[in-house]
Amino acid sequence: MSARPGSPLGSIILSMPTLLVTGFGPFPGAPYNPTVKLVRALARRRRPALADTTIVTHIFTTSYAAVDRDLPALIARHKPDALLMFGLHGRAKAIRIETRARNALALLPDASGKVLRRGVIAPDAPSARRMPMPAQRLLAAAKAAHVPAVLSRDAGRYLCNYLCWRAVDSGVPLAVFVHVPRVARLARPRPSFRGAGFSPRTRNPAMSSHNTAGFRVRALHARPGMTGWHFTAADLARAGEQVLAALRAAINRT
């Protein structure tokens, strides 16, 4: 917190820290992007650690032009103390906190159909740059949500990595990018199974599917550390809130 310039002596007004929280919309190969719902859920969260914090949210259209246009405008308007950015990693098996932005571009179209064919983001820049953040503290926060979480040194070569690079360029002192896995959309047991000991709350991590009375029943969840873990929207919101609170605490340390 800081005093507002020009405040009269004895009546100092403290300004609240601002966190800019972003996600991405759909893109080719991912018609549903869970970061949209995640960012909206975080905007509604209320907890003491965030009581004195202004949270601004934004969903980027998944295009290079949108990142180049919207990020500088958001920073100029809101002057955030920290950025918390979320993106979808379709093959991830855990929450991935990205520690580097790579100077690399894939020959893949964005949501507008545009492809950047130059291979790198900045021709005269290093091959990678460190994300400005307390990586270990954020990893511990994500794990406190009881979901698999790791630090990653490879944010890919698509829009998520591109946003990481632009965020490092932005001058915001704390910039965090979190890749989230796909959210499982699993069938729930039918109500008629209740008499046989099944219910919509059934959890059997050892069973990916079970055939009973001719119906396929999918396990709704698995436990952390097991290969069958299926992320839900609630898992992402819980982990996102923990990371958000840890990032808010880190503002006081910068």
d(CA 152, CA 91): 13
Contacts by 113-122, CB closer than 8 A, 24 or more apart: 114/63, 114/64, 114/65, 116/64, 121/162, 121/165, 122/165
What is the identity of the amino acid at 2? S
Task: List the chain domain ranges.
Answer: 15-183+231-251, 186-229
pTM here is 0.80
Helix axis angle, 135-143 to 233-251, nearest 10°:
140
pLDDT, tens digit (0-9, with 9 covering 90-100), for 204-214: 333 333 332 33
CATH of 15-183+231-251, one of 3.40.50.10490, 3.40.630.20, 3.40.50.150, 3.40.50.720: 3.40.630.20
Low-confidence ranges of the chain (pLDDT < 50): 1-5, 7-13, 187-227
Handedness of CA 98, 168, 49, 253 (dihedral sign): positive
d(CA 223, CA 233): 15
At 228 the pLDDT is 58
pLDDT, tens digit (0-9, with 9 covering 90-100), for 35-67: 999 999 999 877 787 888 999 999 999 999 999
